């Protein structure tokens, strides 16, 4: 499923969070929304998910206007930075939750739910932790459980808000490599919010660089480095390079 936003504008009181933003995420691709804090990335993600309402503009899924659809009817998975796992539920129960609360007519059998949860846990090599609780997991393990919970409902697209931002650099690099393999297998449409250049270059098919609620430039990392649209692009990427290592390289 493709995602398209057309002329999105959003204000909070006197503050303009988004200014006439338009771009498209093609079906099966991962696009990284890159930019400093306060650039409008998360607000845009929440509007696409239906968690915020734009003042102007439209959201289209596969060419159809979805601006007024409810969150439930958007077929979008959302992965939060801080996992949002239920602390009183085991790993298995957290992942199964979305299917178990469906109306009875739409709910798979208990056997089908168990099969699907087990398959997802094996995909991220966490099947041995099915009976653990979130407090017993590492940060990287909790993040993988959060991702599997979003994928359990088989969304047509996945929105991820700084999903690795709370992890230490070593775990973050390892999980980036795991996420890339998972996305290559599933070929889901993914929109990833990040402030890390190396992460956006490693995971994304395309980078959309934002600043002050607008899109400054989009393209591959080489395009941004070699043909910056304005001085901010060079300044932002140059400041990032010492943190991310060699631009575009695979994390080790």
The domain of 12 spans 1-75+155-195+203-217
165 falls within a domain:
yes
Task: Give φ, ψ of 116 to 5 degrees.
Answer: -70, -40
Residue 9 domain flag: yes
pLDDT in tens, 160-214: 998 877 677 777 888 888 888 888 888 899 999 998 898 999 999 999 999 999 9
Output the CA angle 212-188-21, nearest 5 degrees.
Answer: 20
Q: How does the average pLDDT of the chain come out, rounded?
A: 89
pLDDT tens sequence across 22-65:
999 999 999 999 999 999 999 999 999 999 999 999 999 999 99
Residue 124: inside a domain, yes or no? no
Separation CA 193–CA 52 (nearest Å): 16
Indicate the length of the chain as a whole number.
252
**Cα–Cα distance measured from residue 111 to residue 219, given in angstroms and rounded to the nearest whole number:** 45
Secondary structure (DSSP) of 151-179: HHT--SEEEEESTTTTS-HHHHHHHHHHH
The C-alpha atoms of residue 144 and residue 162 are separated, in whole angstroms, by 13
Check which CATH number belongs to the domain holding 166 and give it: 3.40.50.300
| Residue 117: pLDDT band with limits 50, 70, 90 | very high
Is 2 part of a structural domain of the chain? yes
> Which of the four pLDDT bands, split at 50, 70 and 90, describes residue 245?
very low
């Amino acid at each position: 499923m493709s995602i398209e936003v057309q002329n999105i504008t959003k204000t909070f009181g006197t503050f303009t969070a988004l200014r006439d933003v338009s771009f498209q995420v093609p079906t099966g691709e991962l696009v990284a929304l890159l930019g400093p804090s306060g650039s409008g990335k998360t607000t845009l993600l929440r509007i696409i998910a239906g968690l915020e309402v734009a003042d102007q503009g439209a959201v289209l899924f596969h060419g159809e206007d979805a601006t007024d659809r409810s969150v439930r009817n958007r077929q979008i998975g959302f992965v939060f930075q801080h996992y949002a796992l239920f602390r009183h539920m085991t790993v298995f129960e957290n992942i199964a939750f979305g299917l178990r609360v469906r109306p009875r007519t739409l709910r798979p059998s208990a056997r089908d739910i168990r099969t699907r949860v087990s398959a997802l846990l094996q995909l991220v090599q966490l099947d041995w932790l099915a009976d653990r609780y979130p407090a017993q997991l590492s940060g990287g393990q909790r993040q993988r459980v959060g991702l599997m919970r979003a994928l359990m409902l088989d969304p047509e697209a996945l929105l991820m808000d700084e999903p690795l931002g709370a992890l230490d650099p070593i775990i973050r690099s390892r999980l980036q490599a795991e996420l890339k393999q998972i996305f290559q297998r599933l070929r889901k449409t993914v929109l990833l919010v990040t402030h890390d250049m190396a992460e956006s270059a490693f995971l994304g098919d395309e980078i959309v660089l934002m600043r002050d609620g607008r899109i400054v430039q989009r393209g591959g990392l080489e395009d941004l480095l070699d043909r910056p649209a304005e001085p901010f692009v060079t300044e932002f990427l140059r400041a990032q390079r010492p943190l991310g290592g060699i631009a575009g390289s695979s994390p080790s």
